[in-house]
Amino acid sequence: MPSTTPIATALTRGGQETPRIGSLCVVGDPRGRVASTWLGSCVAVVVLDPEARVAGLVHGLLPDASVDPRRAASQPALFLDTGVPALVQEALAAGARLERLRVYLVGGADPIPSGRSPSDTFLLGRQNAEAARQALHRLGLPILMERTGGRANRLVTVNLAVPAVSVRTTQGGEETL
C-alpha cells in the first residue's frame, strides 16, 4: 500500500505506483511496482529492502531546500536534501530495515546543452545528483548502483516480485541493476 502522507503523491496504473515530480512513494506489496516518470535533470533515489519487500522512490526536482524553505516545509520531496531523508523515514515506517536498504541513484542528466563548458557549476542534473549523494552520505547509506549524468533521459522501475531495479533510457538501452 502506498504511503498516505502529504509528501507522497502518486499515480496508480495497473498496480504500479508512479510518484509525481517532487513527491515520493513507498510500496510494501510483494507484487507491487514503483516507477518514475521520465527523468531528465531530476533525480530518483530508490530504496529497496528485498527481504521486507518494501521499496520507495523520491522524484526530486531541485537540489537544495534553502531556496524556498516554505515550499520545502509543505513539499519536502521536491528538494533532494529534504526528500531523501523523508523517503528513508517512510520506507522504515513501512517495515524496511535500515541495515538491509539497497540504494540506487538514477537521473541527473543534463539533456539540454547549456552552451557552457562541461565544468559549469550551473548544470542542474549534476547538482541534483550531488545533493542526493550528500543526503545519502549524511544518513550513512551507501549507493549500491548509480546511473546519472550524460544527456539521456531515464526511467527507473522497481519490481518487488523479483525484487529488482531496472533503468531504461531514451536511447533504447535497458538494464537491471
Predicted confidence (pLDDT) per residue in 34-71, tens digit: 777 789 999 999 999 999 999 999 999 999 999 999 99
Position 2 pLDDT exceeds 70: no
Is residue 57 a contact partner of residue 44, using CB atoms and an 8 Å limit? Answer: yes
Task: Domain ranges for the chain, please list them.
Answer: 10-176
175 contacts 166 by C-beta, under 8 angstroms: yes
Q: Among residues 134, 6, 124, which one has the least CA distance to residue 67?
A: 124
Greater pLDDT, 171 or 122? 171
pLDDT at 81: 97
**Topology of the domain comprising 10-176:** 60s Ribosomal Protein L30; Chain: A; (3.30.1330)
Say if residue 6's pLDDT is above 60.
no
* 19 pLDDT tier (thresholds 50, 70, 90): confident
Query: Does residue 25 carry a catalytic annotation?
Result: no
Average pLDDT over residues 83-99: 95
What is the C-alpha to C-alpha distance for residues 133 and 26, in angstroms, rounded to an integer?
Answer: 20
The catalytically annotated residue of 8, 42, 43, 132 is 42
